[in-house]
Amino acid sequence: MTRHRRLTPEEARAWARVARTVKPIGPKAEDLSEFIEALEHGEPVTRRAPAKPAAGDSAPLKPSALKLPAAPQNRSNERQVRRGKLELAARFDLHGHTQTSASQALPDFLARKQAEGARCVLVITGKGKGGEGVLRRNFLHWLEMPAARTLVSGYSEAHPRHGGSGAWYVFLRSST
């Protein structure tokens, strides 16, 4: 790494003139007036270290309220569904639902299917515009909600023949 040379007095004056024409980026921009004056007088300038916030000044960071559920631990179920060896017990299409109605209907559907002994269901969210529809984006959060979390053992994006990125396999816990 090369060392930077010091500015000559002429270069320092030129830099000071240029620096006066620049508008600060934001409210936290440093006050450069002392720096500019020192350069104009040819004095050496040392940078001050930024002030550290006091220990009690900042609020502690809050962890995310929701953690996304893990992918299914038992990948064999996912493979069986993709190969057609494990039948999908039901399909649930969220098209036509609002966010609110979908978030309420999904746990009800999963509870009904679990009670019927289903192991895997297909939930169709659709892709939405640009591949990030509202229902698709919120689907994993709904699986993490307490009403659904106790029913679900895992999930996986569906095979293209079942809807691809617009649908999900949801693996249900046994209802013992």
Structural domains in the chain, sorted by start: 9-40 (no CATH), 75-172 (3.30.1370.110)
Q: Indicate whether 107 pLDDT > 60.
A: yes
State the number of CA atoms in the 13 A half-sphere of 15 facing the CB.
17
Q: Indicate whether 162 pLDDT > 70.
A: yes
Residues 20-30: tens digit of each pLDDT: 888 776 655 55
Closest by CA to 102, choosing from 71, 75, 126, is: 126
State the number of CA atoms in the 13 A half-sphere of 26 facing the CB.
1
- The letter for the amino acid at 104 is Q
Q: Indicate whether 90 pLDDT > 70.
A: yes
pTM greater than the 0.85 cutoff: no
- pLDDT, mean of residues 111-124: 88
Q: Indicate whether 94 pLDDT > 60.
A: yes
The DSSP element (H or E) to which 121 belongs, if any, is strand 120-124
